[in-house]
Amino acid sequence: MIRSPGTVGFVSRPAPVASSRLTNAIAATLAIGAVSLCLAVTLTVLSIRVSMAMPFPG
């Protein structure tokens, strides 16, 4: 195997990179998903606390 002069390790062609608009769209989608997940967990915790604070009918 003959090594090309001036190269170290594996050398390959650069991979195509997604456009900045696509990257921004993915980042925005992930941010919206994270915020909605946090809101769902917060509402669940608050509803559990409210239901535990209510007296049992009887």
Q: For residues 16 and 44, which has the higher predicted lDDT (pLDDT)? A: 44
Q: What is the mean pLDDT of residues 27-37?
A: 98
Cβ neighbours of 16 (radius 10 Å): 6
Q: What residue type is assigned to position 6 of the chain?
A: G
pLDDT score of 38 more than 60: yes
What are the DSSP E strand ranges found in the chain? none
Determine the pLDDT at residue 25: 96
**Residue 2 clears pLDDT 80, i.e. is over it:** no
Query: What's the pTM value of the predicted model, to 2 decimals?
Result: 0.60
